[in-house]
Amino acid sequence: MQKYIDSFNQMISLRGLTPATRKSYSSYLTSYLNYLQTHLHKLPEEVSWSELRSYILFIQATRNLADRTINSHISQLRFFTLYVLHKPWDPYQLPMRKFDTYLPSVLSKEDALYFIQSLPNLKHKAVISTMYSAGLRVGEVCHLKYSDINRKNMTIHVSSSKNRSERYTILAKNTLDILTQYWYDYGKPTDWLFPSTWGNQKPIVSFTVNRFVNDHLTRLGWSQHLNCHSFRHSFATHLYENGVDLLTIKNLLGHKSLNSSTIYVHLGFRGNASVKSPFDFSGGAHE
């Protein structure tokens, strides 16, 4: 089965995907090939549509996967069938699953400020305040360089983004003050802005940032389901609540499509007392 994995990896490499994405996609195929060996004892070319469906039902039953994850498995089966086996793909034989969508958790402005101000570690405070005040993904804040901070224009240059496009976002005065204090207290880093504790040659990793966010949630005794991305969502939601248009929010976040930014219309609507129901305009029902 290794020849199939090698061919698959070669094809996804030609797409120019990041190493992390290639590793994830390859794991989906490895799962499928292991199933063929242990359950069907067939080569991939010999598998029927019925057996492909059986595989999807198998991983759903045995691994309790989310619908989005199952769709990722189906997508990679499609890619493998088309580009490695060179066989046609029929979406009516193995349809994508529908899935529920949920609004992400966001902090109130007061809670975001309190969370940051109450962080006991200055480096942690600098990282989280930068994420919240600029709308950065955790991977983006980890890979910031000292040269990315522009004090003159009050901007942050984001070169390592999810969709591989550079952008500039805003640098808050309060964040600059925290960053300045952090910079002096932590040895004036001139390469990675937030280097790893294991050495200045590498940046801090996402796992570490997630860990000290979770640790502080426990310290505060908050029961909200929050993570690093909650600060990015809170940034965009609070901008929208302050009257910033969606196109500007899209550009600051680095979204490719405006559709990705429309969720903040729903998040920003919560508690909007200025919006009245048409039933109130009519004066209500009177007998």
Amino acid (1-letter code) at residue 133: S
**Does the annotation mark 229 as catalytic?**
yes
**Does the annotation mark 225 as catalytic?**
no
Q: Of 137, 216, 233, 250, which is the active-site residue?
A: 137
Phi, psi of 253 (to 5 degrees): -80, -20
**Does the annotation mark 232 as catalytic?**
yes
**Does the annotation mark 152 as catalytic?**
no
CB-based burial of residue 274 (10 Å sphere; 0-12 exposed, 13-18 middle, 19+ buried)? Answer: exposed
Q: What count of residues does the chain have?
A: 287
Q: Of 97, 123, 167, 229, which is the active-site residue?
A: 229
Position of tokens 């129901």? 277
**Does the annotation mark 167 as catalytic?**
no
3-state secondary structure of 252: helix
Q: Of 73, 124, 250, 255, which is the active-site residue?
A: 255
Residue 74 to residue 71: CA distance in whole angstroms:
5
Residue 90 to residue 79: CA distance in whole angstroms:
12
Amino acid (1-letter code) at residue 86: H
Q: Do 230 and 105 meet the contact criterion of CB atoms below 8 Å apart?
A: yes
Q: Of 232, 233, 238, 250, which is the active-site residue?
A: 232
**Does the annotation mark 87 as catalytic?**
no
Q: Of 15, 23, 63, 162, which is the active-site residue?
A: 162
First to last CA, the chain: 76
Residue 179 to residue 66: CA distance in whole angstroms:
39
Report the catalytic residues: 137, 162, 229, 232, 255, 264
